[in-house]
Structure 1
Amino acid sequence: MFRTLGGGDLTTNPAKRTHPHAITDLCEEGRRLYANALRTGRIARADAETAPCLMEFALLHPDPDDVGWLRPVPPTVALAQRLSPLEREISERRRASVELAEIFEPFLALSAQGVSPTHSITVLEGLDRINAALDLATEQCRNEMLTVQPSARHPERRVIEGLERDRTLVERGVRIRTLYQHTARYSPERLAYVDQFANGKAEYRTIDELVERLIICDETVAFIPIRDDRQVALELRHPGLVSYLIKVFEFMWDRAVPLSAGTPYETAPDGITEIQHSIAKLLVEGHVDEAIARRLGMNVRTCRAHIAKLAQALGSGSRAQLGYLIAQSGMLDRDH
């Protein structure tokens, strides 16, 4: 569990037990109070009792001049406190991965004499084996890495891992092209991540819908998940399969919007936004809310809020009627 960096352990606080969550899932009340504290410079201790997570995560600290008030910890300080141990752990794991790669280098040289058809597709079971294969492919990548990354929200650990991986590649002169969903444009963590690579070696674009993750290194090896929990993946080294996946990537890349181009979500004359248009298309195809949210990179609650706005705009009173009204409205003709 997360512990306070400067205010003690709050596990005995009854209020804490009523809404436990990780800092990456900061509750709405916590977000509101922290933002208000940053705007005003302080917040009454009594007001903060509704969100004890703010003290647990060291986002507030006692006012030295008045015990009845709390002052906000600057976001830059709070973020640095959280990222520092993650960065150390990632550096240690990366060193371990390099050592393992050196151990297996003689065997890799033997297998590099030719990939047999029976070994052109390898099943990787478990995150440790998947990450080890990805680390090795990253170490060997020399020209270009193509990645498709659905879902804009990522845990801090994965954001830092991606940052370290991309920095290593860029420093080695490798070009990186990454596709996100449009919702990535509203993720402060993702935008801050992208700002780390403003030298042109790494390019980021967004598109309305992505189905699943994909990583391709130097047109020689590709990785795709084959289970929803991402505990099993395929390592593909068959030239025909890798070439096909590259064509799929280029097809999506050509239709994507550079992340620096601003938001692609604009309201059409009929009052339907582009994101609602994408949701409407998936609704008509018969997808449930959870599947739509996953494909568009948003949480289910946000997806349902968009569906409600869509129903209101079309005057729908039921889910069945909404599908009919979408088909009758002609909004899907925008794709043609």
Structure 2
Amino acid sequence: MRACVLHSAKDLRIEERPEAPLAAHEVRVRVRAGGICGSDLHYFFHGRVGDFVIREPLVPGHEFAGEVTEIGTGVTRLRPGQRVCVNPARNCGTCPRCREGRPNLCENVFFMGSASKFPHMHGGFAEFTTVAESQCFAVSGELPFEEMAFAEPLSVALHAALRGGNLMGRKVLVTGAGPIGQLVMLAARRGGAAHLAITDMINQPLQAARNMGADESFNVSGGTEALLEASRRIGGFDVVFEASGASPALNAGLLAVRAGGIVVQVGSLPGGETPVMANRIMAREIDLRGAFRFGEVFGDAVACLEKRLIDVRPLLTGTYTMDTASQAFAAAQDRTRNLKVVITF
């Protein structure tokens, strides 16, 4: 089979690789579509995501969907020909975090397309991949594969919304209008948020957010004065989701949230130490929470996509073939033109 293989920063090659043998509990999936995530962009352009550095050739991609072509002898729930969204995470189920119902914090997790461990864990940007039956969620309708590939990022957004607590009637701010920020905004609205504001440093994604229902948007490239004035006008935001991965945005969220409010860090900040207004967290009793990947919400995300309870079609702005994968990564980096770029296989 052919696969996209990232050797180092900006060195993506289409290579022939052997198909993995099929274990009893596994299925082989013909990948049909895969979305480029922010972490994929970091691997492609910088050779690392925060503290996770590429040390050997890596097949990227953890947002993907396809169809089952072969099943192991122990598989009972799936059959060849079924269309599936694939959960890229496979947790151990036995460590303390798994046992307390937090599989995203599993101490032994296998997460596809990640250099967080060595040897690296290869992802789904290939013609075929082999995964456990438990990772597959069947889609019964005719949902396009390009939309099915949103199951993983939508799971991230749903998990972040859960970390924000009860959003019914709340005033919510999202910092960062990239794909995750936009999906968090949609998840918050689905959760009952009464007022949604979003920030970015580029006008095009802010316009897209307004088109999808944002009540307010702020271009903070020249400063946060307008945002903070809006925060004062409404008495502070109840919940802030930081989805940009920039420390100034996290600090802006700490300034914009009301006393006793909640700030959820969703974006991955650069590796190393980060300056944070910790005294403000203390003096205003702000709850600062992390949201890492996702917990038990992948099936919920698939249901939201299948029933179009959350419509991701406005986010899909570019589609490329496997043979033009390098161009796809370049296009995905251009936030003036694209929100989510998908590679078809």
Q: What TM-score do you get using the length of structure 2 for normalisation? A: 0.27
Higher share of residues assigned helix: 1
Higher share of residues assigned strand: 2
Q: What TM-score do you get using the length of structure 1 for normalisation? A: 0.28
Give the number of the structure with larger relative contact order, counting CA–CA contacts within 8 Å between residues 6 or more apart. 2
